[in-house]
Amino acid sequence: MPVDLDRLLPPYSELIVRVALNLQPGQRLIIIGPLAYGGLSIDAAPLVRHVTEAAYKAGSPYVESIWGDEALTLLRFAHAPQSSFDQFSRWLPKALVEHVEAGDATLSIYANDPDLLAGQPMERVSGMQRSSSLALSPFREQISRRKGVSASIAERAVDAALGDDQPAVPARRRGSGH
């Protein structure tokens, strides 16, 4: 029996916004995914749209999402020079720190393919992870200092809310641990 996401996602999104985030009227929200991969997976779009609606209904004046494209990540691995894997976005870490310093909320949704980089050269994978970790450490430090400003939702939590028979992340995208 197919799961009706339009019926299940609104109450789940309300729970995220009102309980997990405790979003207050006037508080902005940014929704992100794994930033080393560029951001949110398009597979998370239905949930992101419902969370956005719930945030506006809760009084947020502005909600934005940072989307990634896994195909672009793979193109980087295929064609970018090795030296580029020690680089990360110049603007994004600063913008995220400013967002948190302003007291705004951050929601992380992890629905990206856990096996995306399987088979890729380890020196490129570790370079990308190292550069993103270093660049994003001030953002992570700000998040850890400010209680009640962020929440994380893993794909398993989304799958559990929808029921085991209809995961939010398609089977072709899910890790072997499911």
Q: Return the CATH number at 123.
A: 3.40.1830.10
The answer as to whether 178 is a domain residue is: no
Q: What is the pTM of this model?
A: 0.82
Position 170 scores a pLDDT of 41
Position 150 scores a pLDDT of 55
Q: Give the domain extent around 31.
A: 5-170
| SS3 per residue for the chain | CCCCHHHHHHHHHHHHHHHHCCCCCCCCEEEECCHHHCCECHHHHHHHHHHHHHHHHCCCCCEEECECCHHHHHHHHHHCCHHHHHCCCCCHHHHHHHHHHCCCEEEEEECCCCCCCCCCCHHHHHHHHHHHHHHHHHHHHHHHHCCCCEEEEEHHHHHHHHCCCCCCCCHHHCCCCC
The answer as to whether 175 is a domain residue is: no
Position 152 scores a pLDDT of 57
The answer as to whether 176 is a domain residue is: no
Could you give the number of structural domains in the chain?
1
Low-confidence ranges of the chain (pLDDT < 70): 1, 147-178
The answer as to whether 177 is a domain residue is: no
What tens digit of pLDDT does each residue of 110-140 get?
Answer: 888 889 999 999 999 999 999 999 999 999 9
The answer as to whether 46 is a domain residue is: yes
Chain centroid to Cα 54, Å, comes to: 17
Position 111 scores a pLDDT of 85
The answer as to whether 54 is a domain residue is: yes
